[in-house]
Amino acid sequence: MYLCGAISKDLIHWRKIGTLVPGREKAGVIVQDYKYKGKYVMYFGEGKSLKIALSKDLKNWKVINDSVLNIRQNCFDSYLVEGGPPPIVIKNKILLIYNSAQKIKNYEGEIDWLSYSPGLAIFDKNDPTKLLYRSDYPILNPTEYWEMYGKVNYVIFASGLVYFRGRWLLYYGGADKSIGIAEIKF
The mean pLDDT of the chain is 90
pLDDT in tens, 7-48: 899 999 999 988 888 776 678 899 989 999 999 999 998 789
pTM equals 0.89
Query: Residue 93 has what pLDDT?
Result: 96
Domain boundaries, given as residue ranges, for the chain: 4-184
Asked which of 25-29, 122-126, 157-161 is least confident by mean pLDDT, the reply is: 25-29
Mean pLDDT of 135-147: 94
Asked which of 38-47, 62-71, 87-96, 104-113 is least confident by mean pLDDT, the reply is: 104-113
CA distance linking residue 156 with residue 100, whole number of Å: 9
Query: Residue 111 has what pLDDT?
Result: 66
DSSP symbol at 57: S
Rg (CA), the chain: 17
Q: What CA dihedral angle connects 36, 39, 44 and 48, to 10 degrees?
A: -50
Amino acid at 77: D
**4-184 in CATH: which number?**
2.115.10.20
Query: Residue 139 has what pLDDT?
Result: 95
Strands (E), 71-124: 80-83, 88-90, 93-105, 111-124
Mean pLDDT of 118-144: 96
Query: Residue 26 has what pLDDT?
Result: 75
